Amino acid sequence: MSEARHKKPDGVTEEQEAINLLAEAACSGDQKAFGLLIEKTQARLFRFTLALCGNRQLAEDLCQEAYLKAFSRLSTLENGKAFLDWLFQITKNQYLDHVRSKASRTVSTEDEPIADESTSSADFAEALAVHEALSQFEPEDRWLLLLVDLEERTYREAAEQLSITEDAVRTRLFRLRKEFLQKWKKD
């Protein structure tokens, strides 16, 4: 685990603390802080969104839409401490809206590869296999797996995002991880 993701005794990482401070400044109207907030979070949000949808162009579009929506609704964020969770929630909702829309039924999300020229063939094959296994899950289930396993969120944080109990998150993740491994081995 990198130093930036090392958790302090209160469970907040140094990276989360920096994001929280920037979010509080942005909520107070500091547009420069919002720009810095984007710089701090864009790589994580893109990685998460790419794993969620499996399409580089769609992931870029969803991230851009999420930041636009976040900026326009920044005044509704009660405190900066929840910014990253709020941003992920916005992105998930944008993706679910995309999936539900008529356009998503007529345009394949498999049009573009999920990697580019800088990706090794082994990394590309693994990313493709992970995406293939994840694509077989419902978007909400895929989001939960990514939130906890990729973003390293706690069960409590995931439970708050989904408005369910921690026990429900544990049970659901147990089932989802088991299904993921079956799908992974099958592929």
Euclidean distance between CA atoms 149 and 142, whole angstroms: 10
- Whether residues 98 and 132 share a domain: the answer is no
DSSP 3-state of 2: coil
Count how many domains the chain has.
2
Q: Which long-range contacts link 125-131 to residues 24+ away (Cβ below 8 Å)?
A: 129/184, 129/187, 130/51, 130/184, 131/51, 131/54
- Whether residues 125 and 141 share a domain: the answer is yes
User: What is the predicted pLDDT for the residue at 171?
Assistant: 93
The larger pLDDT score, comparing residue 33 to residue 12, is at 33
Boundaries of domain holding 132: 119-187
User: What is the predicted pLDDT for the residue at 105?
Assistant: 55
Judge residue 57's burial from the number of C-beta atoms within 10 Å of its C-beta, 0-12 exposed, 13-18 middle, 19 or more buried. exposed
User: What is the predicted pLDDT for the residue at 168?
Assistant: 92
Tokens of 113: 């590869």
pLDDT in tens, 106-161: 544 444 444 454 455 565 566 667 777 888 888 888 888 888 888 888 899 888 88
Euclidean distance between CA atoms 39 and 104, whole angstroms: 29
Tokens of 115: 């990697």
Question: Does 5 fall in a domain?
Answer: no
Rounded to the nearest 5 degrees, what angle is found at the Cα of 7, between the Cα atoms of 6 and 12? Answer: 130
User: What is the predicted pLDDT for the residue at 8?
Assistant: 53
- Whether residues 65 and 103 share a domain: the answer is yes
CATH number of the domain enclosing 180: 1.10.10.10
pLDDT in tens, 44-68: 899 888 888 888 899 899 999 999 9
CATH number of the domain enclosing 69: 1.10.1740.10
